[in-house]
């Protein structure tokens, strides 16, 4: 079955950096787009980034553009999110998710990880 396991969350000071990872299993990782979604405490979901199956195309929400970088290693079935210049408002649970893909087309997410908490505070 599809499994997505995030890691790397924790406490970081404003202006600091953190790298999140997502280990994928149960499907052919290289066939799927992958996405990061976050949720601030008590707030709604926020889509922040996705990456194409080959890693050649990336999209970012304006709130993280220029600070966050998504990447993937298809040989290791791994997705990453490098977060720099972190701010208090980046405090959230970060979810790794697989995109719903059919043939060459990919759509929104179908499977979700359990999430990892990132806290930005001095």
Partner 1 sequence: QTVVTQEPSFSVSPGGTVTLTCGLSSGSVSTSHYPSWFQQTPSHAPRTLISRTNRRSSGVPARFSGSIVGNRAALTITGVQAADESDYYCVLYMSSGIWVFGGGTRLAVV
Binding site for partner 1 (CB under 8 A): 35, 37, 44-47, 50, 59-61, 95, 100, 107-115
Least distance CB 99 / partner 1 (angstroms): 10
109 or 120: whose CB is closer to partner 1?
A: 109
Cα–Cα distance for residue pair 29/38, rounded to 1 Å? 21
Least distance CB 18 / partner 1 (angstroms): 20
**Secondary structure string (H, E, C) spanning 61-96:** CCCCCCCEEEEEECCCCEEEEEECCCCHHHCEEEEE
28 or 114: whose CB is closer to partner 1?
A: 114
56 or 122: whose CB is closer to partner 1?
A: 56
Least distance CB 17 / partner 1 (angstroms): 24
Least distance CB 37 / partner 1 (angstroms): 8
15 or 31: whose CB is closer to partner 1?
A: 31
């Amino acid at each position: 079955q599809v499994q997505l396991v995030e890691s790397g969350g924790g406490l970081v000071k404003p202006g600091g950096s953190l790298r999140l990872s997502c280990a994928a299993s149960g499907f052919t990782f290289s066939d799927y787009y992958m996405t990061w979604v976050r949720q601030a405490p008590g707030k709604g979901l926020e889509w922040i980034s996705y990456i194409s199956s080959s890693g050649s195309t990336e999209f970012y929400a304006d709130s993280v553009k220029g600070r966050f970088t998504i990447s993937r290693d298809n040989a290791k079935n791994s997705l990453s999110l490098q977060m720099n210049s972190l701010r208090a408002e980046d405090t959230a649970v970060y979810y790794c998710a697989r995109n719903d893909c059919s043939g060459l087309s990919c759509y929104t997410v179908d499977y979700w990880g359990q999430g990892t908490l990132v806290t930005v505070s001095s």
